[in-house]
Structure 1
Amino acid sequence: MMSTVGTLTQPQFAVLEVLAHLGPLKMCEIAGKLLMSGANVTGVVDRLEKKGLVKRVTEAEDRRMFHIHLTEAGRRLIAEVFPVHAKKIEKLTSALSVHEKLELTRLLKKLGKSIQLQDSM
């Protein structure tokens, strides 16, 4: 069973979060940032678009390319649910020292890079 954040599935939340923090991105950029397959990102974005939370915007210089943008409804929703998510993360990591949290962050980034390298092979 997939966990949820508010009314969103975990992958939907992740896509909204990355767009909120980094701004409009191409589908492949979202996939890379979230370590998700392109097909998975497409499905998640399709569902978010149906909910009116994101929109595809075609590039003027190459109409085959597009970026995914948060809509105003998407911005409002992520602003509403992100603090709840952040509190959950803080609670989960409360047993760790500051040094341990930094080490955990470093190790997770290293693991993410390793996963990206494996996926590109």
Structure 2
Amino acid sequence: MAFDLLNCIAFVTSSTSKNVTDDFNRRLEMHGSTRIQWIALYFLYVAEVPISQKQLAQQMNIQAPSAARLVDRMERDGLVDRVENPEDKRMKFIRLTEAGKKVAVDLMPVGQYFSDLLLRDIPEHEIEIFLKVLNQLNQNIKE
């Protein structure tokens, strides 16, 4: 048998992704958040204007129903609010509340620390190659 699962890119990336995701979630839970919420907070924080739920879902690479449940929870927790689209009253935009901005700012160092931890002792040129390979993998999947 020639196929070696332990050296299969799909298996290795999936296993690594799961480990990274689980550890980052654990770290964020110590701060009262989750990885998914942290990602949403990030995209809403860096947005210069309120964005639609559809835009948020696309940026986060999640399905619309998952984004809807996430936004509902974040609204319930006072982190976001929905505002009318002045051009289309049927559509709502999402924006961070002041409390949401504070949580986003407070959690950014957690993300930076975790990123630095993951990349520790890896030379910059290898990180560039790694990102290039990952982007090519994503491109190959889309074709």
TM interval, short-chain normalised:
0.7 to 0.9
Structure 1, gaps ≥5 residues long? none
Greater RCO, CA 8 A, separation 6+: 1
Following TM superposition, by how much is the alpha carbon of 1:112 offset from its aligned partner in structure 2, in angstroms?
A: 5.5
Contact 1:55 1:71 in 2 (8 A): yes
Give the whole-Å Cα distance in 2 for the aligned partners of 1:109 and 1:22: 23
3-state SS in 2 of match to 1:95: coil
* Distance 1:114-1:31 versus aligned 2 partners, 3 A rule: farther
Q: Contact 1:58 / 1:65 at 8 angstroms: preserved in 2?
A: yes
Out of 25, 46, 53, the position equivalent to 2:79 is 53
Matching residue within 26, 30, 33 for 2:59: 33
User: What residue identity is the alignment partner of 1:63?
Assistant: K
Q: Tell me which residue corresponds to 2:110.
A: 84
Q: Matched residues in 2 for 1:31 and 1:79: separation?
A: 21
Corresponding residue of 1:15: 40
TM-score of the aligned structures, taking structure 2 as reference length: 0.71
**Is this contact kept in 2: 1:52–1:71, CA < 8 A?**
yes
The CA RMSD over aligned residues, in Å, is 2.2
Query: Percent identity at matched positions?
Result: 28
Runs of 5+ in structure 2 lacking a partner?
1-21
Worse-matched range after superposition: 57-66 or 46-55: 57-66
Q: Alpha-carbon deviation of 1:92?
A: 0.8
User: How big is each residue's C-alpha offset from its partner over 1:65-101, in whole Å with a ceiling of 9 and x where there is no partner?
Assistant: 1111011001111111111221111111113211122
1:42 correspondence with 2:94: no
Larger helix share, 1 or 2: 2
The two structures have a TM-score, normalised by structure 1, of: 0.83
How many residues were matched structurally? Answer: 116
Q: Over alpha carbons, which structure has the higher Rg?
A: 2
Structure 1 match to 2:96: 70
